[in-house]
Structure 1
Amino acid sequence: MLPPESALTRDLAAWLPRQRWFGGKDGPIDGLSIGTATELRTGDPGLHHLILDVRQNGTTDRYQVLLGVRRDLPDRLRHAEIGGPPGMDGPRLYDAAHDPDLTRILLDALAAEASAGPLRFRHVAGAGIRTDLASLPITAEQSNTSLLFGDTYICKLFRRLSDGVNLDLEVNLALTRGGCTHVPAVLGWIELEPEGRARAGGDGEPVTLGLLSDYLHTGADGWSLAIASVRDWFAHTPPAGDGEWAELDASVAGGDFAAEAERLGAATAEVHQALAGAFGVQTLPAGEVHAMAARMNAELTGTCRAVPGLAPHAKALTAVFLDLAAQAEPLPVQRVHGDYHLGQVLRTESGWTLLDFEGEPARTQNERRALAHPLRDVAGMLRSFEYAARFLIAKSGTVPPEPGGRLETRAHAWAARNRAAFCRGYAAAGGADPAAHAVLLRAFEFEKAVYEVRYEAQNRPAWLPVPLTSLAHLAT
């Protein structure tokens, strides 16, 4: 049995700001109410599904919470406690995403395509979902909570909710149904039906609450693999007599990443083709391309004012944006990944897999769904290679300092080799040839770099040299 709503909302308002996935840490909670409350299991332990309306600074955001209720909270769940009555009497409340005794209920419901109040549990036709697996939450995630069910499934619970079908479900489901092998197969999802959405203060559209997919337990993320390669390259000692050639040729070090970068480029092109087939291709008129270039330049101007360290590169960046405007012609646009980098890909025994098609977290759902030229994703990955190349330099103390910029020289060589390999693989697999669209690609990449400069200046000042140093090489 739940405590009175006033006590429950008080406990939730105190607990929410301490959660990594809560997006409102920069301000106080002005009000919190319960939009929907659905009991999924009675007894001890009990399970309640809550949608919370959280008001901050004149806006309302909605969050999903699995609320567990136990008379006695075991030590293994103390870290997930939300609250409860003072003293020893009364039930204890906690985040049930950490309780495998209760999360198994989600598998049961998905396998049975059950309904509970406004909640609907769906599965893909023919998906045989096992219900005997215990869950383990991945605690490193920021905006969502993912549960691993054995080494078989991963269930992503969307904490901060968006209206309508979540992009990650929409895109992955379409690609799964189209037979794309470069995404984890979707098995099922959880949604809030329109009537429940309306009661929660929404506009009557269904909202995606969770996504169940195959778990690629043999996968290694691209960022970790790239960093291991950079570490090997930094540690490499050129053979005596090889001189400058060995210093600049990243292929001579152990753990060379270029072959994987080329395979990743090919997988990216294949996914782009699958996205075009699933969602179609449209044409962006030349006038809108011209306006896009103007927006890029305006963002550069504003960022130079906010971050003076970018100013020395402004002339070169502006020239690329002006070239794009001068050469503006209609562009094919389609659905793309939207937030593409090495942390969004996994290397498995069968090849590269792309993850997390939600788009950039700071953008609205409509902005994330907007069509774009596929080279925007290519530009995002090229920027990620620049970051990987310089991560160990930026991370103080990880790599011993060397005089004369030797590490930066090596970082540039590693990035250049892997950028070229990725583009080569992308073009060979049927993607738009980056070499044939140099102005467009550079504009997308410089737009991303300007965003990075502003982000690092505001959030991670110690990392600001990473985008600035890469621009010193690229904007020449």
Structure 2
Amino acid sequence: MFITQPLLSPISWTECSTVSSNTEFWAALVETLLPDYVNTCRWFAGKARQQTGFTIKTIHTLTLVDNDFSYLLVVEATYADGEPERYLLPLSFISDNVAQRLPNQLNDIPDKGRIGQATLGDTSGLLVDAIYDQRFRQTIFSHVYRNRVLLETDGQLNFQRGKGLEEGDEDLDSSVLPVDSSNSAMVFGNKYFLKLYRKLFQETNPEVDMVAFLTDESNFPHIPAFGGSIIWQRTNTPDVTLGMIQRMVPNEKDSWMQTGDYLNDFLYAVPQRMFAIREDVFDKVELLGKRTGELHSALYKPDAGPDFTPERFTKDYRDFMIKRLEDLLERRYALLIDNYTKLDPHAQRLAWVFMEAREMIESFIDDFRSRHLDSLRIRIHGDYHLGQVLATGDDFVVIDFEGEPESTITERKIKHSPLKDVAGMIRSYHYAVSAKLFNSVETDGLNSEHLQRVSDRWFYLIRDTFLHAYMDVFEVPHPLFKNNTETNYLLLVYLLEKAVYELGYEISYRPSWVKIPLKGIIDVIREIEKIRLSDGKDTPDIPMLQTALLQSKE
């Protein structure tokens, strides 16, 4: 599983300065142990690519509590095609002597944390991912607690403490969460959560920017509070985020699971031709709408620095959105044509209406290029849905501010109307009810058109409840939402973008779910048609929405 050949080196691991500058030692590591180990790691995204090699680009040295050392390695993976990637690998050496003196130190390290056996100088031991070394965990947490700055040959490591880290919490027991993901998670005193970012980008992580701003600048209470960050600062080069500490939040479940729970009663009533929603469901939806509005209100700071200052709908932003929409639509039309025969009859009818409305959609997008807009744009969550909200007793906590996974880091920091987040949550509610009704044993055999009508009724009630509670947070008029006309228009732009984005995934991976985003797109097109008529743009060469195509021929 792991290469266990020893690394031959005439040096001692504890000679810190010598190890970090010894090219022979690190070259041996790269040639023997590192490639096989990295390719077993969940956080390494390059497994499926043809690799041409690994290089250790930077070595950061950390002095541990017992005057031993750990290293933060920045490892570059290169490929036959495409850009190289950089990853963070913390490295510790557990000598046989340390293992005998502290037996639990070695026993607590799982197989996935063991890089391989090594002989360093006259000392034998085990090279490990340092997150499994309790001394390493204690050191980095203590550095954040003390606001330490470590000068390095390539810049400095800045351990920044946030408001969420309390006095007296420097020395806490720690452990590694067993969940495998694209990052690594450590827990301190069951009170703090440290996320170590594995794949590195040439700028700060948007999640750290957002959480730090909401905690330290806006005092927004409904997120896991910012406890601190680890930033690699370099001269004349963008900073790189290595890690972040947040407060842990006790929670029952995320809001996707909670919504599924309170949809169960609704689901069981549908076959009996009954329609019922408990009053406490509306209370939960209203509260989430309110908390979402409060989140965006906390992000609206006219006097903030350039990263968070509100901006207008500039030409560059409109061009970005139009290109994104046009590219998405072009690819989705092609996917629908190629996969049309795989769709069920209901989805096929929805697909036809969507494709027949192409000219109307293109006209709507073109209108976005020049329509006068006074509303403002701010930094937003960017990947907002029910799974990003934790239910905590009688309230909610918003998590995971990294942004849309398929976007670049630069794109994740682009300012949007907060209605983009609102659109994401609305689409999430639509998915929740549609997935429940169309994919449950209880509704097997029921007419699909009937299920569509029932799910629409539930969704429209929940959507309107969420929207009303959200807008009630803001004074009218508000710089973010100049008037109702602009608000409705912009919400359609983002709902269209979101539903078309979703369509690609469903066609490729879940054809039976294609009707969910398609129905969302049709709802948007209906509203686009209303705007078109109210604007007096009933252009004869653009056909009206072909709703007759939705009727079953059975």
Identify the TM-score tier after normalising by the shorter chain: 0.7 to 0.9
1:217 aligns with 2:250: yes
Deviations 1:403-440 (A, max 9, x none): 32365554434333322221111111117477863332
- Residue 322 of structure 1 corresponds to 363
Tell me, in whole angstroms, the C-alpha distance in 2 between the residues paired with 1:211 and 1:300: 37
1:53 aligns with 2:76: yes
1:30 aligns with 2:52: yes
Query: Match of 1:63, as an amino acid?
Result: Y
- Are the counterparts in 2 of residues 289 and 325 from structure 1 also a CA contact under 8 Å? no
Aligned residues: 458
Query: Match of 2:226, as an amino acid?
Result: V
SS at match of 2:47: coil
Tell me, in whole angstroms, the C-alpha distance in 2 between the residues paired with 1:16 and 1:458: 29
Residue 93 and residue 167 in structure 1: after superposition, are their counterparts in 2 closer, same or farther (change >3 A)? Answer: same
- What are structure 1's unaligned runs of at least 5 residues? 196-202
- Residue 25 of structure 2 corresponds to 4
2:283 to 232, 237, 259: 259
1:183 to 223, 244, 251: 223
Aligned-residue offset at 1:25: 3.3
Query: Match of 2:447, as an amino acid?
Result: G
Residue 462 and residue 238 in structure 1: after superposition, are their counterparts in 2 closer, same or farther (change >3 A)? Answer: closer
- Residue 193 of structure 1 corresponds to 233
- Residue 13 of structure 1 corresponds to 35
SS at match of 1:362: coil
Deviations 1:74-95 (A, max 9, x none): 45423323432489x9422333
1:151 to 183, 186, 190: 190
Tell me, in whole angstroms, the C-alpha distance in 1 between the residues paired with 2:249 and 2:453: 36
- Residue 267 of structure 2 corresponds to 234
Tell me, in whole angstroms, the C-alpha distance in 1 between the residues paired with 2:28 and 2:67: 20
SS at match of 1:91: strand
Length-normalised TM-score, structure 2: 0.73
Tell me, in whole angstroms, the C-alpha distance in 2 between the residues paired with 1:41 and 1:399: 60
- Are the counterparts in 1 of residues 51 and 78 from structure 2 also a CA contact under 8 Å? yes
Residue 204 and residue 424 in structure 1: after superposition, are their counterparts in 2 closer, same or farther (change >3 A)? Answer: same
SS at match of 2:200: coil
1:66 aligns with 2:98: no
Aligned-residue offset at 1:350: 6.6
Residue 259 and residue 193 in structure 1: after superposition, are their counterparts in 2 closer, same or farther (change >3 A)? Answer: same
- Residue 111 of structure 2 corresponds to 79
Q: Which moved more, 1:374-383 or 1:321-330?
A: 321-330
Residue 237 and residue 288 in structure 1: after superposition, are their counterparts in 2 closer, same or farther (change >3 A)? Answer: closer
Deviations 1:52-88 (A, max 9, x none): 112222412211122233246845423323432489x
Deviations 1:100-121 (A, max 9, x none): 4542222222122234444232
Query: Match of 1:403, as an amino acid?
Result: L
- Are the counterparts in 1 of residues 388 and 400 from structure 2 also a CA contact under 8 Å? yes
Tell me, in whole angstroms, the C-alpha distance in 1 between the residues paired with 2:175 and 2:51: 30
Aligned-residue offset at 1:295: 4.6
- Are the counterparts in 2 of residues 293 and 324 from structure 1 also a CA contact under 8 Å? yes
- Residue 457 of structure 1 corresponds to 507
Residue 215 and residue 451 in structure 1: after superposition, are their counterparts in 2 closer, same or farther (change >3 A)? Answer: same
Query: Match of 1:38, as an amino acid?
Result: H
- Residue 199 of structure 1 corresponds to none
SS at match of 1:93: strand
Residue 80 and residue 229 in structure 1: after superposition, are their counterparts in 2 closer, same or farther (change >3 A)? Answer: same
1:313 to 332, 341, 354: 354
- Residue 456 of structure 2 corresponds to 412
CA RMSD of aligned residues (A): 3.4
Residue 441 and residue 318 in structure 1: after superposition, are their counterparts in 2 closer, same or farther (change >3 A)? Answer: farther
- Residue 443 of structure 1 corresponds to 493
- Residue 446 of structure 2 corresponds to 403
2:377 to 315, 322, 333: 333
Query: Match of 1:451, as an amino acid?
Result: Y
Tell me, in whole angstroms, the C-alpha distance in 2 between the residues paired with 1:15 and 1:311: 50
- Residue 95 of structure 1 corresponds to 129
Tell me, in whole angstroms, the C-alpha distance in 2 between the residues paired with 1:194 and 1:349: 43
- Are the counterparts in 2 of residues 375 and 434 from structure 1 also a CA contact under 8 Å? no
1:368 aligns with 2:392: no
User: What is the percent sequence identity of the aligned residues?
Assistant: 26
Query: Match of 1:231, as an amino acid?
Result: N
Larger Rg: 2
Q: Which moved more, 1:95-104 or 1:352-361?
A: 95-104
Tell me, in whole angstroms, the C-alpha distance in 2 between the residues paired with 1:460 and 1:45: 52
Residue 137 and residue 458 in structure 1: after superposition, are their counterparts in 2 closer, same or farther (change >3 A)? Answer: farther
- What are structure 2's unaligned runs of at least 5 residues? 1-12, 14-18, 100-104, 341-350, 475-479, 527-554
Tell me, in whole angstroms, the C-alpha distance in 2 between the residues paired with 1:90 and 1:457: 54
Deviations 1:256-308 (A, max 9, x none): 53322221111111221221214222211479647744652442122211233
SS at match of 2:267: helix
SS at match of 2:60: strand
- Are the counterparts in 2 of residues 394 and 462 from structure 1 also a CA contact under 8 Å? no
Query: Match of 1:269, as an amino acid?
Result: G
Query: Match of 1:160, as an amino acid?
Result: K
Tell me, in whole angstroms, the C-alpha distance in 2 between the residues paired with 1:475 and 1:179: 39
Residue 292 and residue 204 in structure 1: after superposition, are their counterparts in 2 closer, same or farther (change >3 A)? Answer: closer
Tell me, in whole angstroms, the C-alpha distance in 1 between the residues paired with 2:451 and 2:134: 47
2:293 to 264, 269, 274: 269
- Are the counterparts in 2 of residues 84 and 90 from structure 1 also a CA contact under 8 Å? no
Tell me, in whole angstroms, the C-alpha distance in 1 between the residues paired with 2:168 and 2:35: 35
Tell me, in whole angstroms, the C-alpha distance in 2 between the residues paired with 1:181 and 1:40: 33
